[in-house]
Chains A and B, each alone.
Chain A
């Protein structure tokens, strides 16, 4: 079967750094997305990785290791507005987007 694993919930402090991990077991791999979803709102696109390595975009970075079936999202200089769920999603070999259940990130002052 196809599976995306993320921690259910994480807590971090304002101004700190947090890393949200995602592991996947899918039938093939054609890219990995990270989306941010605030409570009661729609997901918004954060990043896309298809090759191994780190993609940096401002305070957010995303890393991919295809051999390990692993990605992480790194958030720096955390702000209260970063409190949200972060969803990992993988395109499999059939170009189906497989979604994780998301990691709820709680930021404390």
Chain B
């Protein structure tokens, strides 16, 4: 089945130790998104790519970086995780950019910072 895959599902890292979260998709969608979601809060968009065009949300901290080496893969790098970065990180894709294109989400990676 075509899908969005995130690895790992659970990640524990130490305060200040760089960590990379990965996302892959078999849907061949042009657009990929990274969201941060904390408990009982709305998902917060960090970045999105339209093909290779990178779009950084204005309030995304510099501590967060992203890479999309090809259509299928996208990575979220957190350079120096703080306790406040503990959250669920959701990857999503859509076939186009605009209101009629629903987003397909991966299962998420729950990040714990110790």
Contacts and interface: CB of A to CB of B under 8 A. Distances in A.
A99 B99 contact: no
B27 to A, nearest CB: 13
Given A42-B108, A44-B105, A100 B98 contact: no
* A: contact size bracket: 20 to 34
Interface string B73-101: 00000000000000010101000011110
A102 B105 CA distance: 16
B70 interface: no
A95 B99 CA distance: 7
Contact of A102 (B40, B99, B103, B104): B40
Interface residues of B, number: 21
Interface of B: 40-45, 88, 90, 92, 97-100, 102-108, 110
Given A42-B107, A97-B45, A99-B44, 20 more contacts: A40-B108, A40-B110, A41-B108, A42-B90, A42-B92, A42-B105, A42-B108, A43-B43, A44-B105, A45-B102, A45-B103, A48-B99, A50-B99, A87-B42, A91-B98, A95-B98, A97-B103, A101-B42, A102-B40, A102-B42
